[in-house]
């Protein structure tokens, strides 16, 4: 994961390094994903998210498209 201060900064970095643009998330989305993903990790009844549950978390944060599909 790389953090950029703006879309312009990202585009300059991509051009300089010759990489293609991948999935882009805002800090709000990153924080929301971390909270949703790890909120119950230390509880005794914790279990891994199913693909459907994980995709529901992604979608709730506006993370859609092929990159975020698990099936």
Please report which residue ranges of the chain form alpha helices under DSSP H. Answer: 7-17, 27-38, 51-60
Count CB neighbours of 58 within 10 A: 20
pLDDT tens digit sequence for 42-71? 999 999 999 999 999 999 999 999 999 998
Q: What is the pLDDT of residue 45?
A: 92
pTM: 0.76
Beta-carbon contacts of 28 under 8 Å, excluding residues fewer than 6 positions away, are none
Q: Rounded to the nearest 10 degrees, what angle do helices 27-38 and 51-60 cross at?
A: 150
Portion of the chain with pLDDT greater than 70, in percent = 100
């Amino acid at each position: 994961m790389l953090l950029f201060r703006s879309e312009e900064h990202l585009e300059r970095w991509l051009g300089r390094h010759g990489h293609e643009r991948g999935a882009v998330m805002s800090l709000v989305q990153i924080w929301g994903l971390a909270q949703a993903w790890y909120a119950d990790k230390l509880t005794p009844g914790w279990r891994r998210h199913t693909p459907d549950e994980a995709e529901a978390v992604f979608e709730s944060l506006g993370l859609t498209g092929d990159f975020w599909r698990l099936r």
